[in-house]
Chain A
Amino acid sequence: MSEPSVGVYVHIPFCDRVCPYCDFAVVGGGVSADMQGRYVEALCQELAQRRDAFAGRRLDSLYFGGGTPSLLATGQIAQLVRSLREAFPEATADLEVTLEVNPSTLERDRLPGFREAGVNRLSIGIQSFDDQVLKRLGRAHLADEGRKTLAAARRAGFDNLSLDLLFAAPGQSLAQLEADLQETVAFAPEHVSTYELVVEAGTPFALADRRGQLERADSDAAADMVEAIDAALGSIGLAAYELTNYALSGRESAHNQRYWKREPVLGLGVGAWSSDPAGEGAPHGARLANTRSLPDYLDRTQRGDPASVSREVLAASTARAETVFLALRTQVGLDAARFARGFGGPPRTWYGGEIDELVRNGLLLESPEGDLRVSARGRMLMDLVCERFVEVVDEVPFD
């Protein structure tokens, strides 16, 4: 990527109900049409404030995530796509525009409208085709709704679909996951994102877990599940181009790849994160986090204040560590030459000892050019590998 580009993430915080494992910035329960309208306006205001930081960049991806962005009216999505294209007049041909969709009647009916609005890729929150698993996850939909939404998406002409599959759900057996995989394979999506259930602090699942009421998969069972996923998706040509993402060749998500390559992303909306490009005082870029409160977000944008509440200027050592651990998550791995262009030396300049030990232990593979990627075992022990590249800083509290 020599030519400067930008990806835009738009966070839509609304949900009909909040899943008990979710720790995103979301607002549950019926949100009024008026509120939705105000929010879309606020997004446009934030865009106007922030576009200059990314001025002159080619728009490379658009992503509507949530929450449940498909709760917005088709006209509102269309308005946002239009504003974004106006803000960044130069755009990649066949610009990837992704919308997250949950299986429900309301959203299903809007699919043709979203397509007209410019959305060309759907990420569908199927999670599972097993009613028992869905109920335990506290999802609003049952398996049949998911099937109907998939069918409706194809009918509406979407030829680039991604399915979210959740595994290691409470009480989920390997057989249940295999059934999910079988149905996924039969549907033959272009892309699958897998999510191992993570019990995040502060969620109802965390509470249940503390009380011992959550039947969690142990790490061996989870390892079996990852193997099952690799095998099933591989059988229809979906390759794990990143640790948790599988795609047909050419259907990799342009948007998500930006994160793993540490390319600039403008995040708009409540709780959204941005990766600002390198600039004055931030030679390795900065990461900004927006307020997680909807009222605060509306206030800030209305006053013309920044929506971000934190800005981390990335130190060279932090940027290097991130570059390595993000790249190692991908199938192509770390390009030593590109790394050297960014930081003034190949990875071995800083990580010689770590690389030697990881290679010796069979977790890392190094090409004659110094490119790095993880072995099959290293992929399963990714955190052990990546841990070696970060710095222990004093501020990290130990508990």
Chain B
Amino acid sequence: MSIDPAQIRNFCIIAHIDHGKSTLADRLLDATHSLTDREKKDQFLDNMDLERERGITIKARSVRMRFRAEDGKDYLLNLIDTPGHVDFSYEVSRALAACEGALLVVDAAQGIEAQTLANTYLATEADLEIIPVLNKLDLPAADPERVAREIEDIIGLDATGILHVSAKTGKGVPEVLQAIVDRVPAPTGAASSPTRALIFDSWFDSYVGVVLLVRVMEGTLGRRDTIRFMIGKKEREVTRLAVLEPAEREVQELAAGEVGIVLAGIKTLSDVKVGDTITTLANPASAPLPGFRETKPMVFSGLYPVDSEEYEDLKVSLEKLKLNDSSFVYDPETSAALGFGFRCGFLGFLHAEIIQERLEREYDLDLITTAPTVRYRVVPKSGEPFEIETPAALPDANEIDRIEEPIIRATVHVPAEYLGAVIGLCQDRRGRQVGMTQHGTRVQVEYDLPLAEVVTDFHDKIKSVTRGYGSFDYELRGYEAGDLVKLDILVNGDSVDALSLIVHRDHSYTKGNDLTRKLKEFIPRQQFQVAIQAAVGARIIARTSVKALRKNVTAKCYGGDISRKRKLLEKQKAGKKRMKRVGSVDIPQEAFLAALRLGEE
């Protein structure tokens, strides 16, 4: 009993953080009676604590609703959620490819933000019908006319089709549902064609294994069908098909135009690639759907347990996280200074932040995180170019022809009064301005920036220099050669591997100075003078020293002092054991933490 594709609408909601995407989704579910009260959580679509807290959706989910339209017919509306987060732009693009239309939700008080725009561009590229929705009309500060003009000016959408909604009160919500039916095209693929289903999301469930969320583009997918992953080149049998309403309901078949979940006995998430195409052996397609891309981590940092005894815990936690996030990678790494840990790769710096925070919060680990670095491409004087993920892997300077670094195109939306500050920040970060447009009181400015310059604190800096009014999005552009050098930190001549960095030559002096000075603050005086140096190659570019300790003895020692004195000595010795010894110098962990946090202040 397949459903007439003319009665199906697949859509998503795109919005900037806090513009009310999740609230609107809830209201749509309410209006279509899709949730029982028991099932109602405040915001159904965001189901991880961290997502709720940060107001961002990390993993996409989907929900099917029934809606009786003005023509008296029942329609199936599939709301496909998209990760609202710049590091997942590829995943966003796959979710969009599963839709024919998108609700563009804009806060009627705030107006368009960078993220709105980035996702709108993606939606336009995916050829989606875009329905602009002004939300938060209930707010006193709402200025629908101004924001409607922005939508017309910036995005080029006809203002006459803009819907007005208050997701909070529910006003305007039925009109949104009707507009989806009226304006979003029905899916076009034929059920009789060879089967092609797009995997646009996947997750790990500890009971059933890997769950695939798919949109059948053409043909049909049935229970017990043997399916083939056209890019992953594996074959499996479908053990279960279901739709999410939002409660899971098993079905026997998913036909062209439908969205649902597929179980096929897959054990690990990394065996599945988002964007892959499923076909059936019974009715095989000749080519996969377009748009697949291999995702590659772009930002790397070392994660070390503060307490080396937590290494095993960290390992287990990483394994667990990896179950649900195949875009994140890790390998064991050993640092002379920090001991045993892991080199982790992330899609971007927000992704890195989220992973670290989940490790610390959900798994209760204390971590030392080395300064994030990016994937550099090294072109040696002889031999093939190669990519490196850690400064330690960089060969000697005299063997290198050039180092290339990833460049991003950053789009910043900002009220005009903060433009100067944003430009200053981008210039400082070796940015190259490529575009600027003014819309009323807001300015959109585009910069090409080295990814390495934004991985640490650029996002926070944008927020702080614009007092929270600026918004920022980015996409990867490619690689460019840069005047990059490896900066080493030496303590009494021994290199502290955990603090090595690849930096632009112009920044090496400042960075070297900052690092050596910070270390000096935290390295206690020892029996010898401790020289702290920053070096580029063999050249010392910054130096400072911790003077030798002249005196380390206090107090008398009589009677009961003896026990006390002994305990003090034991404690002092225990404290040293907790320090990391580099050469003959004891360095407290706080020194590493402070050095690694440099620039975050």
Contacts and interface: CB of A to CB of B under 8 A. Distances in A.
B570 interface: yes
Nearest to A389: B569
Contacts of A219: 525, 549-552
A105 B510 CA distance: 65
Interface string B566-594: 11111111111110000000000000000
Interface in A353-380: 361, 363, 379-380
Contacts of A326: 557, 562
Contacts of B573: 387-388, 390, 392
A313 interface: no
Given A243-B553, A392-B577, A398-B578, A387 B560 contact: no
B557 to A, nearest CB: 6
Q: Which of B555, B558, B572 has the most CB of A within 10 A?
A: B558
B382 interface: no
Interface residues of A, number: 48
A195 to B, nearest CB: 6
Contacts of A265: 559
A265 B549 CA distance: 35
A37 B553 CA distance: 40
Contacts of B566: 318, 321-322, 325, 390
Given A392-B573, A396-B571, A259 B551 contact: no
Interface in B413-456: none
B563 interface: yes
B548 to A, nearest CB: 9
Nearest to A225: B551
A393 B571 CA distance: 9
A149 interface: no
Interface string A216-245: 000110110010000000000000000110
A397 B562 CA distance: 18
A193 interface: yes
A289 B560 CA distance: 7
Interface string B220-252: 000000000000000000000000000000000
A95 interface: no
B36 interface: no
A311 B555 CA distance: 24
B554 interface: yes
A280 interface: no
A386 B550 CA distance: 16
A267 B559 contact: yes
Contacts of A272: 559-560
Contacts of A382: 552-553
9 contacts: A193-B556, A198-B554, A220-B551, A272-B559, A325-B565, A390-B566, A392-B574, A392-B577, A396-B570
B368 to A, nearest CB: 17
A287 B571 contact: no
Interface bracket on B:
20 to 34
A204 B552 CA distance: 24
Interface string B140-181: 000000000000000000000000000000000000000000
B429 to A, nearest CB: 38
B464 interface: no
B558 A256 contact: yes
A397 B565 CA distance: 15
Contact of A220 (B550, B553, B571, B578): B550
A6 to B, nearest CB: 14
Contact of B569 (A220, A361, A386): A386
A393 B570 contact: yes
B527 interface: yes
B462 to A, nearest CB: 37
B520 to A, nearest CB: 16
A271 B555 CA distance: 19
A256 B567 CA distance: 20
B299 to A, nearest CB: 34
Contacts, number: 105
Contacts of A318: 566
Given A390-B573, A398-B578, A380 B551 contact: yes
B455 to A, nearest CB: 34
Given A198-B554, A326-B562, A363-B527, 17 more contacts: A195-B556, A219-B525, A219-B550, A226-B551, A244-B556, A273-B563, A275-B559, A318-B566, A325-B566, A380-B553, A381-B552, A384-B552, A390-B570, A392-B570, A392-B574, A392-B577, A396-B571
Nearest to B568: A383
Q: Which of B527, B553, B576 has the most CB of A within 10 A?
A: B553
Interface string B481-525: 000000000000000000000000000000000000000000001
Interface string A318-335: 100110011001000000
Nearest to B558: A259
Shortest Cβ-Cβ A-B pairs, 4 listed: A273-B560, A382-B553, A223-B551, A223-B550
B382 to A, nearest CB: 46
A312 interface: yes
Contacts of B574: 392, 396, 398
A387 B578 CA distance: 15
Contact of A381 (B551, B568, B571): B551
A396 B558 CA distance: 21
B492 to A, nearest CB: 14
A389 B94 CA distance: 65
Nearest to A361: B527
Contact of A259 (B559, B575, B576, B578): B559
A34 interface: no
Contacts of A363: 527
B559 A329 contact: no
Given A198-B555, A318-B566, A391-B570, A287 B560 contact: yes
A9 interface: yes
Contacts of B569: 325, 383, 386-387, 390
A325 B570 CA distance: 12
Contacts of A383: 552-554, 568-569, 572
Contacts of B556: 193, 195, 244
Nearest to A243: B553
Nearest to B528: A361
A376 B393 CA distance: 46
Contacts of A220: 550-551
Contacts of B554: 196, 198, 383
Residue from A243, A256, A386, A397 having most chain B Cβ neighbours under 10 A: A386
